[in-house]
Chain A
Amino acid sequence: MTKEEIAGQKNTINKSPFKRFENFTVLSIFIAFVVIIVILQLILTGASQFPTFISPVNLLNIMQQIGVSGIIAVGMTMVMISGGIDLSVGMLASLVSIITALGISKWNLGAVPAVIVGIMSAVVLETLLGYIISRTKVEPFIITLGGMITFQGIALLLSNSREVMMSGELDALKANLIEGAKDPVSGLNLVIPPYVLIFLLITVLAWILLTFTKYGRRIYAVGTNPNAAYLAGIDVKNMKLSVYAINGLLVGIGAVMLLSRINVGIITLGQGLEIDTIAMTVIGGTALSGGKGNIWGTLIGVVFLGSIGNAMNMLRLPSEVQFVAKGFIVILAVTAGDVYANIPEVLSRIKRNIHAKSTKEN
């Protein structure tokens, strides 16, 4: 028997549930997290004070907070599955928000054309990055880092380093779809704005694209092994290019949503968004090396990271502490998978040891 065969057998013996369901690890951490928060809240504040973490009003609140980064994280997931990464999404979102705001308040394009111009500029710029990435051998990390700095520069130039005010032209995007609905416990207003639905819709569409189409299968193939993908008749270059183009579209949509919430086109709008979305994607089980990951994992990552911030606010933790805790949880979430995977092996080793001891004693 060859070494490979032995390794193969070991793997089939290893029937850990953690391996069978890919998102199990992170989901279980998330559930544990929610339980801890609820317990903490009961202890610290008592059930009498509102709003509490699991109340409907707060859950919808979380959805509003994560909607934008969620859309962008979906794009990031696709880019990372194809073996790439995109550091430019944050600054691109800022740029799009400034272009759209300028289009509305300075160039008088009207709301809809301005939004289209904003989103299209994101698609064009990302396609450009995708073109460079797919046609050269330079790491996407470096190219998109360059893109990030360039976009920042363009955004500052266009806005003269100032904020671009709007007067609520995009309010339709944050209108409450369930006007009048109240939280049964606290009596506070419940809010579901359209962009939350758009986020959920995009998530479902991306899931269909990745799971049910020829295109989706090819993205995974390209991310896993570009050489083999090319030999299997896949146009690897254009696949990569198209993934960045889709990512541009999603960043554009996300940026417009963000703009509608804040009502001001400004450079700080997208700051740190790339870090957040990469963290969400990675927590969701997508591998930086490509070919591995799925949309549901990312959704869990998005909700997880979003609720951490929310929960810590409710526990009234100072923001400095929040950073530390957030960072720690990211590390915990991504290493836990590895630890989990080794549990069966550790258990069997312990069993073997016990067995060996008992036979010795006999």
Chain B
Amino acid sequence: MKEILRLTNISKTFPGVKALQNVSFDLREGEVHCLCGENGAGKSTLIKILSGAYQPDEGGEIWFEGKQEKLNPHLAIELGIQTIYQEHIVFENLSIMENIFTGLEIVRGGFLQKSEMNKKTEGVLEYLKSSLTPDQIMGDLSSGEQKCVEIAKGLIFKRKVIILDEPTSAFSVSEIENLLEIIRTIKKSGIGIIYISHHLEEAFRIGDRITVLRDGKRVSNYEMQNLTKEQLIKDMVGRDPSTFYKRETVPIGDVVFEAKNVTGNGARNISFELRRGEILCFAGMAGSGRSELMNVLFGTTPLDEGKILINGKTVKHANPKNSIKNSMCFITEDRQKSGLFLHQTIARNVIIANLVNTKKFIIKPSYDNETGDRFMKVLNIKAKNSRTRVSSLSGGNQQKVVLAKWFNTNGEIFIFDEPTHGIDVGSKQEIYQIMVDLLKQGKAIIMVSSDMPEVISMSDRVIVMKGGEIMTELDRDSVSEENVLTHSIGGREI
């Protein structure tokens, strides 16, 4: 098989982070090359380099069909590299044909050649054994069908490389089967496919080769038939646990929060207890239903069935307002979208949630600033004063403002959804210490994390979720990267 693409010695440095270090990668005609690794292993960065969105650091070389190229997004498409991202970038209210040909219309004498474009689309859809017709509206299609259209586009324009980034994350079982079938079909026409997925079973079913990344480095490369599942997991994890953050342990107290058969928002039949002085971590892959569960626990989305008990009493969980009154706090995953008031001052951000607990209607502006200044000192938020706008702070300081907002409510039960997402190493340690300080005050923490070292080092117990259900519960002694990963990708029988 002829080689299409070769990357040698690719590194990519961001301020403070080495996202990729000396990674090599190659792709042949008509093969499916899987790219595996945990969150933050560098898969996305590698794809972005391939699609021309990022430039590799000095020394990295990209060879395409024997010629060295310096990729940019435009050139990548011209050469025939198509990236199909996890999130669909489509024109919802245009037809399939229009979606395929937008920007690359077939025009003769200034007129669109609609029938020709339709015919081409129809031909390719038929080749892919799809029942879709060119005039169907994109927005009416399911996630799987949209993916099929994007692949059809790649075929029509004779692309040579198709990159699929987590293609099946929102798929039903039958859609996965269809997609794998389509991939087998297009392989035959000589297209090289780079396939990225959390679902290792898919990699085993259609992959020809597999490259494993970890912490920005290439760990291994196998022909698929020579690889066992155990070996793959071992390659993906295998960090040295002694480099993880070491937290103090805190004596564990009474049960403060209890979920009984909680169902809703995609989470099914979840039961657990949370004790004072404890960090209970929910681990799992992206899309395992952890954040969805947290929204139910906090009352953002309705609880369909089951009960939530706080200090032994069943609580009515209608909305966040009630939850805050019941001394719950929710540090969301996306702090800019749902945690912060970016264009407001630190002070205004800090006082806002506790307004639920104040009876007073008149509040002096000086109260805001005093409260803001107090928490800036407690949490070591670096800014000129509490009248600084939050939008000008760094990620770590912004996260601390979110924490201050919740500390101000005197909450007892904290939900941390990805507490250190997008935060530099130094601030990470500070946030961890703040979490431990909370435990010392007898508070309890539920943490959702996809950062494996964080899961291992911070948790007292780990609940692993998949598909909205609890797979297993691991205690401190049985928590290991390998163990967590094995359960999150589906128990023993991957």
Contact = CB atoms under 8 A, between A and B. Distances in A.
A291 B394 contact: no
A217 B15 contact: no
A11 interface: yes
A2 B339 CA distance: 20
Interface string A280-291: 000000000001
A227 B342 CA distance: 12
B239 to A, nearest CB: 22
B103 to A, nearest CB: 28
B173 interface: no
A214 B424 CA distance: 35
A173 B351 CA distance: 42
A163 B29 CA distance: 81
A220 B15 contact: no
Interface stretch (B19-27, B148-156, B355-363, B433-441): B355-363
A232 B16 contact: no
B321 A233 contact: yes
B85 interface: no
A233 B338 CA distance: 12
Contact of B394 (A8, A212, A228): A8
Contacts of B341: 220-221, 224-225, 228-229, 291
B343 interface: yes
B394 A230 contact: no
Interface string B313-330: 000000111011100001
A2 B393 CA distance: 11
Interface string A221-250: 100110111111111000000000000000
Interface string A206-226: 000001111101101100110
Interface residues of B, number: 47
B344 interface: yes
Nearest to B338: A227
A224 B14 CA distance: 30
A167 interface: no
Contacts of A1: 15-16, 424
Contacts of A137: none
25 contacts: A4-B398, A6-B15, A8-B392, A12-B392, A212-B363, A212-B365, A213-B363, A214-B361, A214-B362, A214-B363, A215-B361, A217-B368, A218-B352, A218-B355, A221-B344, A224-B344, A228-B339, A228-B341, A230-B300, A231-B338, A232-B353, A232-B355, A233-B320, A291-B343, A291-B344
7 shortest interchain CB distances as A-B pairs: A11-B392, A5-B394, A233-B356, A232-B353, A233-B321, A224-B341, A227-B338
Given A2-B14, A221-B341, A221-B348, 17 more contacts: A1-B16, A1-B424, A6-B15, A8-B392, A8-B394, A212-B362, A212-B363, A213-B362, A217-B351, A217-B363, A218-B352, A220-B341, A220-B344, A227-B338, A231-B332, A232-B320, A234-B321
